[in-house]
């Protein structure tokens, strides 16, 4: 990668004399990490696992407090929600009823989560830089955080919106708390977040590979299959899965980038003491290269 020269100078006090009275003190940049990510393993593992447990507990507790009147404009003396309030492309979901796709979406979600975990750990073990166990733990943590954040945000949106599922727009449908949590799709957001995180981790681990973006194509295909299955069952509306795919994709892409280290950045810090007349002056100078 071509490097662009970077030189920064900051004058801290007054004017700077040209001749320093003491030699420069240089602090070299930290050594290159063994993984493309920087994490605090114990703290972030505790936060991630704790966040998932808290989300599960809160999910169960909140569900117990819901129920009763349908959260929608109703027809037939409150027997079902009014389809007229739906967008036309969401209204088409009401005519779908393919139970087989429910199995496909369940299997697809589980394969996305488990497959992404196996993929990042295997890749770290095969292409480590001296510490395979540490590399695998770090990369798995980045994936876990993507999933944990996506799950938490998804649950918050479900209970904040409380959108009825397609079944509540039909007469004689089975009611329940789960039937009021359609937006966004949990299956789709889980698949999108883990698969996108895996794809991003892979691309960052292999920046010189011409095929490093292939996992993104595979991830989009599997996520689309899960999303289609949720609509065809139908457990969700089209807008539910589109929003979930965007949510999971953004989180799965952002979390690895936020943890990324930049070994190609080499900054050197110099603290120079200078004198002008009878008063000392200090200069903080940063110089280096930015890739």
Strand partners, 284: 10, 271
> CA nearest 233: which of 109, 79, 87, 115?
109
Q: Quick one: 269 and 253 in the same domain? A: no
- Structural domain including 17 reads 4-31+265-290
Check if the beta carbon of residue 157 is closer than 8 Å to that of residue 176.
no
If one counts every other C-beta atom within 10 angstroms of the C-beta of residue 174, the result is 9
Is residue 33 within 8 Å of 134, Cβ to Cβ?
no
| pLDDT recorded at residue 178 | 84
The verdict on 134 and 15 lying in the same domain is no
pLDDT tens digits for 11-69?
223 333 333 444 444 444 444 445 789 889 999 999 999 999 999 998 888 877 776 67
**213 and 99 in a common domain:** yes
Q: Contacts by 116-125 with C-beta closer than 8 Å and gap 24+?
A: 116/143, 116/194, 116/195, 116/197, 116/198, 117/143, 117/194, 119/198, 119/202, 120/197, 120/198, 120/201, 120/202, 123/201, 123/202, 123/205, 124/35, 124/205
- Tens of pLDDT along 70-113? 788 998 888 889 999 999 999 998 989 898 999 999 999 999 99
Same domain (yes/no): 97, 128: yes
Residues 285, 144 within the same domain: no
pTM for the structure as a whole: 0.78
């Amino acid at each position: 990668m071509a490097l662009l020269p970077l030189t920064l100078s900051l004058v801290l006090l007054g004017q700077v004399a040209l001749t320093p009275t003491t030699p420069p003190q240089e602090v070299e940049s930290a050594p290159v990490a063994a993984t493309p990510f920087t994490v605090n393993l114990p703290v972030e593992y505790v936060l991630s696992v704790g966040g998932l447990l808290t989300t599960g507990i809160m999910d169960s507790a909140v569900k117990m407090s819901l129920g009763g009147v349908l959260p929608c404009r109703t027809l037939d003396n409150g027997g079902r929600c009014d389809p007229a309030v739906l967008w036309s492309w969401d209204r088409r979901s009401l005519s779908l009823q393919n139970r087989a796709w429910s199995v496909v979406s369940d299997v697809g979600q589980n394969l996305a989560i488990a497959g992404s975990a196996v993929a990042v750990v295997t890749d770290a073990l095969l292409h480590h830089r001296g510490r395979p166990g540490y590399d695998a733990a770090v990369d798995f943590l980045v994936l876990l955080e993507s999933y944990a954040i996506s799950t938490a945000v998804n649950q918050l949106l479900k209970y904040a919106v409380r959108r009825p599922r397609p079944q509540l727009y039909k007469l004689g449908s089975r009611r329940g708390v789960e039937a009021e949590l359609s937006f966004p799709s949990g299956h789709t957001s889980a698949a999108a977040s883990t698969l996108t995180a895996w794809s991003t981790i892979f691309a960052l681990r292999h920046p010189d590979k011409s095929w490093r973006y292939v996992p993104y194509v595979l991830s989009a295909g599997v996520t689309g299959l899960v999303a289609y299955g949720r609509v065809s069952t139908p457990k969700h509306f089209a807008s539910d899965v589109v929003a979930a795919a965007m949510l999971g994709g953004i989180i799965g892409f952002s979390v690895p980038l936020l943890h990324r280290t930049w070994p190609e950045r080499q900054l050197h810090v110099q603290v120079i003491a200078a004198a002008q007349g009878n008063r000392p002056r200090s200069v903080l100078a940063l110089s280096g290269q930015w890739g």
